[in-house]
Amino acid sequence: MKRFESLNYLVSHLNLTLQQALDTRLKRYELDIKLWPVLFTLWQEEGLSQTELSKRCDVANYTMTRLLDQLQVQGLITRHQEADNRRAFQIFLTDDGKALEHDLVHEAEWVNDQYLALLTSDEQAELMRLLNKINKIA
């Protein structure tokens, strides 16, 4: 099999270039790509436990601890101790973290648009449909 016939190679390569493009844009906000999944998830649903956030972002719990430490130092999240478990914390965005949503989502959309511009609107819809179909089995 040639690399341009390998789903793994093609998806990995695309993922890397998309992440690099978004990372460059996030640097304007003194953020990096590692923090993107956490913020993106919290904009959709706050109050998640660190364990649940780790699962949704597909990162190890110890990695999530470091990411949350960084976001807390930057004043973008707070941790609230869960009432029934002193060792567990719920994660919430601060006002500053919430305020970034519009700008950062715009940056991500810009990156998406740059890559998708190579496709017709029908091809874009088909690509998204197929990727979602494949991701359902993963």
11-20 long-range contacts (CB < 8 A, ≥24 apart) are: 14/115, 17/115, 18/111, 18/112, 18/115
pLDDT of residue 88: 79
Extract the tokens encoding 20: 């690099």
| pLDDT of 22 over the 80 cut | yes
pLDDT of residue 41: 97
pLDDT single digits (tens) 79-98: 998 777 777 789 999 999 99
CA 55, 57, 60, 64 dihedral sign is: negative
Q: Are 57 and 37 in contact (CB under 8 A)?
A: yes
> Scanning the structure block, which residue is given the tokens 């904009």?
43
| pLDDT of 138 over the 70 cut | no
48-49 and 77-82 as β-strands: parallel, antiparallel, unpaired? unpaired
> Scanning the structure block, which residue is given the tokens 């923090």?
35
Percent of the chain with pLDDT over 90: 86
Extract the tokens encoding 66: 């470091």
| pLDDT of 6 over the 70 cut | yes
Mean pLDDT (whole number) for 112-135: 95
Structural domains for the chain: 3-137 (1.10.10.10)
pLDDT single digits (tens) 43-89: 999 999 999 999 999 999 999 999 999 999 999 999 998 777 777 78
Q: What is the CA radius of gyration of the chain?
A: 17
